[in-house]
Amino acid sequence: MSMTYISKKHDYAATLDEKEQPKDQKSASVESLLVRTTKLTTVTIKLYRIMVFVRMAIFVLFFKWRISTALAMISDGATTVRAMWTMPIAGELWFALMWVLDQLPKMQPVRRTVFATALEEPLLPTMDVFVTTADPEKEPPLVTVNTILSILAADYPPDKLTCYVSDDGGALLTREAVAHAARFARLWVPFCRKHGVEPRNPEAYFCPGVKARVVSRAAYMGRSWPELARDRRRVRREYEELRLRIDALHAGDVRRQPWSRGTPEYHAGVVEVLVGPPGSTPELGVSDLLDLTSVDVRVPAVVYMCREKRHGRVHHRKAGAMNALLRTSAVLSNAPFILNLDCDDYVNNSQALRAGVCLMLDRGGSNVAFVQFPQRFDGVDPADRYANHNRVFFDCTELGLDGLQGPIYVGTGCMFRRAALYNADPPLWRPHGGDRDAGKDVATEADKFGISTPFLVSVRAALNLNRSEQWNTTSPPRSFDGAAVGEATALVSCGYEDRTAWGRDIGWIYGTVTEDVATGFCMHRRGWRSAYCATAPDAFRGTAPINLTDRLHQVLRWAAGSLEIFFSRNNALLAGARLHPLQRLAYLNTTVYPFTSIFLLLYCLLPAIPLVTRSASTSAFSVNTPPSATYIGFVAALMLTLAMVAALEVRWSGITLGEWWRNEQFWMVSATSAYAAAVVQVALKVAAGKEIAFKLTSKQRAPSAGGGVVKDRFAELYAVRWTVLMVPTAVVLTVNVASMAAAVQEGRWRKGPAAVLAMAFNAWVVVHLHPFALGLMGRWSKTLSPLLLLVVVFTVLSLCFVLHLHML
């Protein structure tokens, strides 16, 4: 974990000396208590850095020897020989470059201790939360409903929180489900406040087999434990009725009806306030179901938005929806901070919003554009066959980048500073003396922001508030009247962004299916920082595709989007001097990694493994030619240092060796399938202008909260859905298994070290593709392991070979 979460207030009251303490000194004291950042300087980290540089030095010596040897061998050779030498050297250089780009940005990790409750309610700024959904079939409304309820029940002042829901499909089913959620929230939110339940997602709280987190007896808010049990039963009964109503909507004709008279691709824009903003004074309630006489029953505001869509218009997928939310929220609540969540990414830790704000308001936090939380998932199989948790990225790479200019934005679970989305400069790079009326100058540029006067006024207010940093004394105006809603509806029209800077310099960036990476990059390029915030318990939890086909399509979308960024104006090589050099390497690695598939497929599909040989004939890679002792020495040194770096990385990051290994396996699966397809797709886009198709990732339907254990919880894991993405990986697996079988049957290992290394490479490929083989086997993988079958086959072949020699 990069951040230790502190939820008690004992340090806050004890540290602040409020006796005659000036207000400005008091604010500074509060700042000093919010976050404590510590650079990792343990022996493990120092050894890790040393081993990285040692391996880089070995790379330099190896390629110096390798290239000089190749030049001597091909000086008088044929064209075929030159090609057979050039290809493996180019591949080795690429693999070495990618390893260096991956390791260097991770060498300065930091850990943060955040005192989330040090900010009392009067000091907390207002916040807007964006929830996006697009298809009620792939993203079930019940999942979206639970996410909304978890947001409304978060431990944050209700008068300072507004939840915006974007329905990009314009489905009446989604709108009705959100309306039902808003009504149920009037019971769910006070129940959570009264008893301090965790998590505050009803499905996760009531789901059988999920142990709900409840506050300790000493800090319990209610009158007695029997009261909690009684209230829980009553609220659960109401939630079951909510589920039945949503299921009835989903089963009926409502799911096929558009909310605004049209189709998912053609409909009018709609902005509707489902729950109005509450007052600033706590309201004690009365209920027939619960005793709420001492509980604040206020519920944060909820706004439903469906942006306009027209045929012949480019709507820019999720990035367009996020920009529509940005404009809508600006004329309604205009909060200085924005939290963006996918429809399945619910609030798992009610203090998460406070923790993110602490990093924004901490001393030096004025230069932080966004706070990225790690993605954690429910419903993943225990073995995490397809590396859905992606711990290496979140707990190693993002943690390391936090010591540079900050982690990469990864689409959800991210808190933004509104001014940073408006293309403002951070204080560190702001011209001295020129920021007094800068908000006014920027806001009047209608060619950038559009022609809406109320929106331009809100932009000016947001930029000025960001410069003053008076979050606790200056609150942006909140207006949810008819005029404001009408203006918001005009702002979500599909033609509003015409001839403006939206998607280029303002808001979320267009031109790629991975708008998250591009948006974060643009902020870092302007000099902003970001921060990494990992809480315990996890701040947010979502769902992940456990089916192989869905997972490959998800990786394909990420890889294609990364290449789109590389071939765009947002290439890391073109960024200015404000981007940290190592941050530049991290972004370069993020946008070029799919090219690895080209060399990896060539290596895996060659009939003979490309090993160094002294032969200059066309059979340069014959197993009869032994590799030199120098080559074997370099290979041994590189493999040893690789193992040491990996072991040290696992040690300092806190991940397990199994998680690291699962990541390595699925990297091999992705590199031989989705990465290669992404290279082809982007090549067609660059050469012929063919746009990349966007396939929405299916969200798992939440298991029933009714009694009983859900049958076959991981059924999707064993479902085999053939896709063309599987073809190259299946060919690679077949070629290497066949090569190993032929080597055993023919006794090739007796032909020298080259043959042994060739078999070792075949085995390396097969072991890495083990999860892919399990996916192809479907339900057979429950009882039969491909590796076990492979061991049995090779054992039988070996016995047959020994018997054959004995008979001779």
State the catalytic residues: 168, 516
Q: What tokens appear for 373 in the block?
A: 């939380």
* Cβ–Cβ under 8 Å, residues 715 and 536: no
* Cβ–Cβ under 8 Å, residues 537 and 590: no
Q: Is 188 exposed, middle or buried (0-12, 13-18, 19+ CB in 10 A)?
A: buried
Q: DSSP for 628-658?
A: PHHHHHHHHHHHHHHHHHHHHHHHHH---HH
- Angstrom CA distances, 726 to 13, 554, 670, 733, stand at 59, 14, 10, 11
* Cβ–Cβ under 8 Å, residues 345 and 541: yes
- Angstrom CA distances, 659 to 182, 233, 297, 381, 766, stand at 39, 39, 43, 13, 19
* Cβ–Cβ under 8 Å, residues 414 and 572: no
Burial 85-95 (b: 16+ CB within 10 A, else e): beebbebbebe
Q: Please provide the distance, in angstroms rounded to a whole number, between the alpha carbons at the two ends of the chain.
A: 62
Q: In terms of Cα–Cα distance, which of 664, 585, 655, 641 is closest to 47? A: 641
Give every CB contact of residue 376 below 8 A, 6+ residues apart in sequence.
348, 389, 538, 540, 541, 542
Give every CB contact of residue 794 below 8 A, 6+ residues apart in sequence.
740, 741, 744
- Region of 451 on the Ramachandran plot (φ > 0 left; ψ -120 to 50 alpha; else beta): alpha
Q: In terms of Cα–Cα distance, which of 173, 181, 175 is closest to 200? A: 181
Q: What tokens appear for 201 in the block?
A: 């997602």
Q: DSSP for 73-84?
A: HHSS--HHHHHH
Chain-centre distance of CA 429, in angstroms?
28
Helix axes 548-566, 657-671, angle to 10 degrees: 70
Amino acid in position 442: V
Residue given tokens 């929180």 in the structure block: 161
Query: Using alpha carbons only, how large is the chain's radius of gyration in Å?
Result: 29
